[in-house]
Chains A and B, each alone.
Chain A
Amino acid sequence: MASKKVFLLIKGKAALDINTSIKAKDLADVYCKDTATRRKVENVIVAKTPAEEDWMNISSIEIIEKIDKELPNLEIEVIGAEDVLIEVKSPEESNKVLKLLKTIIIFIILFIGSGLTIINFYTDTDMEKTMEVIYETLTGIKNPNPYALTISYSIGLGIGVIIFFNRIISKSLRRKKEPGPMEIELFAYDKDMEDYILNDLNKSEEG
């Protein structure tokens, strides 16, 4: 029997429950011409997740090692990421009420905070005077408290925030898939954090 060629497309990251065995298919997409071999490779147990929530990483070399041990005579070709970062989570710890409470607390913090910062901004830049001058320029009337300008301005402020963060209402599926600045920022933050953890894990392994 000639050695079969197996392709492994290593995933960059995976999320697994605690106390489970990590199978090759959790870490990589497997391809082999022979379906039976593919199944076998997919179900090779590479490692076990710890009993509590943690981060761990498995390098592509470790995956090859384990597969080679159990199924010799395979020619393994690795493509994709070099390491897999595994987020070990305890199953279904999400508590709906707690989550709602957390959201409400942050909502209140951001609500009051953004209100305060906008007032800080106004007093800092002497917005009162600015509005008075603009109103005089526009209408020729001196009015120290031009409600027509300031109230519409306040409403416009909200519109501006919505425009910046939310996409324009559109039925197009493509438009719906496009992220806003907040989603991109969240994604970038997650990615940076994972990179950092991976780097940290690799460092502690070497040291």
Chain B
Amino acid sequence: MKYILAVLVGLCSGFVVGGAYAAFISLLRIVPRLVQLTKTHRAVKLYQNAYALGVIIFSIINFTDISFNFSNILVIIFGLIMGTFTGMFSSALAEVLNVIPVMSKKLKIKDEASYLVYALVFGKVAGSLYFWLIFVNGG
């Protein structure tokens, strides 16, 4: 009985959190952007499944003690991929906030707006490197 209740609570909260996550991810429009870039409109269903599968597998890994024996090269590839996703994720957020359009409009530098993207790129990489190399080690 206890277990049935636990499973029920787990399933229900999983439904809600998973639904919220999917809604949030769709809001950021990362998948449409990637589809537009790669012209793979047919694979949208597959991308959705990739999201679902990723969420399930990583959440299981998170709650268990599974560990692999991957080499450092694989770890580097993993890091690159994770970073790429977070980069897209955070730019989607920044874009929603409309910072660059508003700034470039107000200061009348519309033509140069595309260069400002590189400020975001370098800023993110520099900030991230600073965090991992200096900040984490306590300055």
User: What is A's interface to B at a CB cutoff of 8 Å?
Assistant: 94, 99, 102-103, 106-119, 121-122, 127-128, 133-140, 145-168, 178, 181-183, 185-186, 188-190, 193
Tell me the B120-138 residues at the A interface (CB within 8 Å): 120-133, 135-137
**Known contacts A118-B124, A182-B114, A153 near B109 by CB under 8 Å:** no
Task: Tell me the count of chain B residues lying within 8 A, CB to CB, of chain A.
Answer: 74
Tell me the B74-119 residues at the A interface (CB within 8 Å): 74-92, 94-95, 98-105, 107-110, 112-119
Whether B67 sits at the interface, judged by CB under 8 Å, is yes
Chain A interface, >50% SS class? helix
- Of all chain B residues, which has the CB nearest A135? B75
Kindly name the residue among B72, B90, B124 whose own CB sees the greatest number of chain A CB atoms within 10 A.
B124
User: What is B's interface to A at a CB cutoff of 8 Å?
Assistant: 29-30, 33-34, 36-38, 61-62, 66-72, 74-92, 94-95, 98-105, 107-110, 112-133, 135-137
Contact A189–B98 (Cβ < 8 Å): yes
Contact A156–B101 (Cβ < 8 Å): no
- A-B pairs with lowest CB-CB distance, top 4: A160-B87, A156-B83, A115-B127, A152-B79
**Nearest CB in chain B: distance from A100 CB, A:** 8
**Known contacts A103-B112, A160-B83, A154 near B128 by CB under 8 Å:** yes
In the assembly, what is the distance between CA of A61 and CA of B127, in Å?
A: 57
**Nearest CB in chain A: distance from B127 CB, A:** 3
